[in-house]
Structure 1
Amino acid sequence: MVDAPQQSRFRPETTILSLGDGFFDPVQAANFPQTILRFRNDRAAAEIGLASLTDEEWIRHFGRFEPLPGSLCEPLALRYHGHQFRVYNPDIGDGRGFTFAQMRDDRGRLMDLGTKGSGQTPYSRFGDGRLTLKGGVREVLATEMLEALGVDTSRSFSLIETGEALHRGDEPSPTRSSVLVRLSHGHIRIGAFQRQAAYRDEAAMQRLIAYSLRNLYGEEPGNQPAAQLLSHVVGRTATLAASYMAAGFVHGVLNSDNINVTGESFDYGPWRFTPRWEPGFTAAYFDHQGLYCFGRQAQAIHWDVVQLAIALRLVASAEEVAPPLDEFPAHYEAAMAQAMLGRLGVRPQGEQADVALVAAIEQALANSPVEIDRFFFDWRGGARRGPSPADPIYSAPAFEAFSQQIGSYESAVQLSHPYWSDETPCSMHIDEVEAIWAPIAERDDWSAFDAKVAAVRRMGAAMT
């Protein structure tokens, strides 16, 4: 496991209050029957000055939601709209979560601590505002794996079991309950801009744009602030889409209310890692049309960014927002080369060669049974590192173009970490997730969960 970074000092903020009351509602956290600490992310806590909290203090803040000194005095449920599977919904917002606190991290960035499963809000509709323990475990595993693979993701900060019996239609019920806290670089969603556009509130839209530029991108608004922000969002979200592909990850619900304007991935429900390069692989059982399947994620995210551009038309002309929006495909192509070559661990050769290599990788993986994790593990550094069960596949015609091109690439990594001598790569497929959950459900045995988190962090250390 990677050692935690040196403890930073806690630097509280209340910056979100500058937006004004129209962007959020003060709420109260649920009063849970129990608060059993199941996971605390001391690596992340050290970056914001909270790793020295005792377990008792941790539970008071992240299970009972006692305010952190100097930060927000009360939780805030954020207001937003959004397209959900391409259908516009004005009746959403933080329905089972809230922004609990803000602070600066060790890089000086404004950070939010947000919740999932913390109780009902004005936007809960018919929901109970709760989170199943299995859902919390799955989010921890997703974020740990994505972080290790270099995806810009929110981080699971805390998971506390809350002692309520929940009834759900998609898992055996009654099931156990939990509350999750995630650490994010802001919780401003595309849907927040859509809400202001729906209400035709130009002043509120301008405040939201300025807030995002100043606090999430460290820039003052210029002559065309809407286009300025959109340009950043286009670049960051194209990078996000590419990083999903290189990781073999399927988010599952890429609605516009689930896209953060920082391009940071968050909110993990029916996620999955696809074992093989299957463009049609879906994560959500209710995604009957495959709208958010593996191979359509860039298209889905681009569509969401188009909705942001449409919302920004409230305060900007079409001539202002069109140029940055048109750059998404070019950003995505460049980001795909960077992400795929980065996971492969080779030095770029130039745009034309790199794009061709990415195409060869995709072709090889799509036309062979080799698993994505196995391929990148076996070829780390741009050359075969030893015997592999997939060796017969690598000599098959599907890999001919890749084999011809990879020989001219130089390694950009060191392979001295013991991980690279393992027989099998670390992965996070659905059968593994279920195998981790089973002993927790059956006998409250967390050893497989703890071991998996340690194994994922070990892989992450090997890849840095």
Structure 2
Amino acid sequence: MSDDVATTAHFENRYQRELPDTYARVSPTPLKNPRWVAWNSALAHDLNWPHPPDNDLLHAFAGHGLLEGTKPIAQKYAGHQFGAFNPDLGDGRGLLLGEWNDGQGQHWDFHLKGAGKTPFSRFGDGRAVLRSSIREYLGSEALHGLGIPTTRALALVGSDEPVMRERLEHGAMLLRIAKTHIRFGHFEWFAFSGQTGKLEQLLNFCVTHLFTDCSRQPDPAAALFDAVTVRTAHLIAHWMSTGFCHGVMNTDNMSIIGDTFDYGPYAFLDAMQPGFICNHTDTSGRYAYNRQPDVAFWNLQCLAQALAGIADQSALRDSLSRFAKHYNERFLELMGARLGLATVMDEDQSLIRDWMQLASDETVDFHRPLRALAETEASDWATLDDDYVDRDRFRRFRQALAERRQQEPGGQTLALASNPVSILRTHHVQAVIDACEQGDDSLLHSYLAALQSPFDARVEWQRWRQLPPPDYQAQPLSCSS
């Protein structure tokens, strides 16, 4: 890193300066006997982060001291949780340390998860555990590797401090990095508590720092909502095209900039199961895999309601009416790429639907068959027939795809670049967690490397291509996951 970047990079605190009285100042509660578990050197490079992961930094990211320029706060917000409005939400176990200015014009929130109790902890202990922190670290890097907008993690610190969840576990802290931690729920809090002035301040903050193009529009609030609608539609299309299930799409877990946010009981599909539920508290299936587009639309309606007092309501309705179009176009584009189609034409929609229906009816793995189609020359696709119970049905599909691919000279190259070799699978994550809880971080580092380069087929990552055992049944996870 050049000296001029090193001297211009620093921490700022724009959120608390421009939005006073919307947070609580809280100091981290130190984690006992901290140790490095993981350090994201690739992200550190992207951030122009100048400090090595030494003991001084370890202690800072374990709550034993503050980095120069940081002023930790716990943000206050609200949100709809499983459809019911909750006005009493906020950062209950995480602190926004400050906003890192990387010296190249980009600010990054440094958010320390597991930092101890805050005024918004309710009955929680404010801690994170190693298990859930590993899941967020791997999950966010997996999505980033696939090109899906997401928060990321710079550092993971473990300890031998006992923390009680369903069982006694090891405490940990995760340093989450995001361009913002502003959620739909921030807007809901101000709107539904009658704080119109604060709502306008929040809007101005977002327009000034996150949606600068909206500042030139006659109705910045409506313009911001339209941009959020597009970003959210595209994000959910990414999730659906890669078999990702978030598990708890409450409005307080929806990022205003369209990033994947808050990794709790998430999972990637193994078998293609449209109604897959990964959250064990989701007894109604509200957040099932196939309901994510509908839930995203519902959440956007909540955001529109929060903005209705400061934006043209007809413009908000118009933006909502275009959500399905934005989602469908992006989903078809992404699924088309997985089939090797650079340009999705109208007639290709039935081809994509046929594949999704075939995969669902036969409950085949969501990922492996598409990778097999990508790795195999179209002239040899007949060798894949035996992977399907209804061989004739698959034969009709592959013949139609082969004919269509004749119009796409770079189809196989596109398919190889769109179908990952390494996918985050729950049984692999559990193996990593089990090893780390015994003090062995080697599997974590191996899996992390594979997920960061998911389209590379390397011999040393062969174990991460293994499917779950035939009798394996992924269990729904809790929000403490």
- TM-score relative to the length of structure 1: 0.89
CA 1:413–1:214 in structure 2 vs 1: closer, same or farther (change >3 Å)? Answer: farther
CA 1:428–1:388 in structure 2 vs 1: closer, same or farther (change >3 Å)? Answer: farther
Q: Cα distance, 1:286 vs. partner?
A: 0.9
Deviation per CA, 1:89-123, whole angstroms, max 9, x where unpaired?
11111110021121245763332111221111110
Deviation per CA, 1:113-153, whole angstroms, max 9, x where unpaired?
11221111110001000011101111112112111222111
Residue 179 of structure 2 corresponds to which residue in structure 1?
185
Q: Alignment partner of 2:190: what SS?
A: helix
Aligned match for 1:82, one of 79, 83, 90 = 79
Letter of the 2:147 counterpart: G
Deviation per CA, 1:50-92, whole angstroms, max 9, x where unpaired?
15424223213322364433x43x2111110000000111111
Aligned match for 2:195, one of 184, 196, 201 = 201
How many residues get paired?
450
Q: Does the 8 Å CA contact 1:193/1:205 hold for their aligned counterparts? A: yes
Q: Alignment partner of 1:98: what SS?
A: strand
Q: Does the 8 Å CA contact 2:116/2:126 hold for their aligned counterparts? A: yes
Deviation per CA, 1:174-228, whole angstroms, max 9, x where unpaired?
1111011111121110000000111212221111112112211233523211111
Residue 306 of structure 2 corresponds to which residue in structure 1?
311
Q: Alignment partner of 2:182: what SS?
A: coil
Does 2:285 match 1:282? no
Aligned match for 1:136, one of 105, 109, 133 = 133
Matches within 5 A, 1:216-295: 216-221=210-215, 222-295=217-290
Q: Cα distance, 1:376 vs. partner?
A: 2.6
Q: Alignment partner of 2:170: what SS?
A: strand
Rounded to whole Å, the distance in 1 between the matches of 2:334 and 2:103 is: 25
CA 1:418–1:312 in structure 2 vs 1: closer, same or farther (change >3 Å)? Answer: closer
Mean alpha-carbon deviation: is it higher for 301-310 or for 217-226?
217-226
Q: Does the 8 Å CA contact 1:251/1:271 hold for their aligned counterparts? A: yes
Mean alpha-carbon deviation: is it higher for 389-398 or for 87-96?
389-398
Q: Does the 8 Å CA contact 1:346/1:382 hold for their aligned counterparts? A: no
Letter of the 1:308 counterpart: L
Q: Does the 8 Å CA contact 1:75/1:99 hold for their aligned counterparts? A: yes
Letter of the 2:146 counterpart: L
Letter of the 1:145 counterpart: A
Rounded to whole Å, the distance in 2 between the matches of 1:182 and 1:388 is: 46
Q: Alignment partner of 2:148: what SS?
A: coil
Rounded to whole Å, the distance in 2 between the matches of 1:384 and 1:18 is: 59
Q: Cα distance, 1:370 vs. partner?
A: 2.3
Q: Does the 8 Å CA contact 1:114/1:181 hold for their aligned counterparts? A: yes
Does 2:123 match 1:126? yes
CA 1:360–1:454 in structure 2 vs 1: closer, same or farther (change >3 Å)? Answer: same
Mean alpha-carbon deviation: is it higher for 398-407 or for 121-130?
398-407
CA 1:237–1:39 in structure 2 vs 1: closer, same or farther (change >3 Å)? Answer: same
Aligned match for 1:158, one of 134, 155, 159 = 155
Q: Does the 8 Å CA contact 1:34/1:163 hold for their aligned counterparts? A: yes
Does 2:24 match 1:25? yes
Does 2:452 match 1:457? yes
- TM-score relative to the length of structure 2: 0.86
Matches within 5 A, 1:245-394: 245-350=240-345, 352-380=346-374, 384=378, 391-393=385-387
Deviation per CA, 1:227-281, whole angstroms, max 9, x where unpaired?
1110011001111111111111111100000000100002111111111221110
Percent identity, aligned pairs only?
A: 28
Deviation per CA, 1:355-398, whole angstroms, max 9, x where unpaired?
33332331222122321110231123895597899542364415
Residue 49 of structure 1 corresponds to which residue in structure 2?
48
Q: Alignment partner of 2:90: what SS?
A: coil
Q: Alignment partner of 1:306: what SS?
A: helix
Rounded to whole Å, the distance in 2 between the matches of 1:21 and 1:12 is: 18
Letter of the 1:68 counterpart: L
Deviation per CA, 1:150-186, whole angstroms, max 9, x where unpaired?
21111121110133211112xxx21111011111121
Rounded to whole Å, the distance in 1 between the matches of 2:245 and 2:52 is: 35
RMSD: 3.0
CA 1:276–1:354 in structure 2 vs 1: closer, same or farther (change >3 Å)? Answer: same
Q: Does the 8 Å CA contact 1:382/1:406 hold for their aligned counterparts? A: no
Residue 435 of structure 1 corresponds to which residue in structure 2?
431
Rounded to whole Å, the distance in 2 between the matches of 1:178 and 1:269 is: 15
Q: Does the 8 Å CA contact 2:163/2:169 hold for their aligned counterparts? A: yes
Residue 403 of structure 2 corresponds to which residue in structure 1?
407
CA 1:262–1:21 in structure 2 vs 1: closer, same or farther (change >3 Å)? Answer: same
Rounded to whole Å, the distance in 2 between the matches of 1:377 and 1:25 is: 49
What runs of 5+ residues in structure 2 fail to find an aligned partner? 459-481
Q: Would you identify which runs of 4 or more consecutive aligned residues in structure 1 move more than 6 Å?
A: 385-389, 415-420
Mean alpha-carbon deviation: is it higher for 388-397 or for 215-224?
388-397
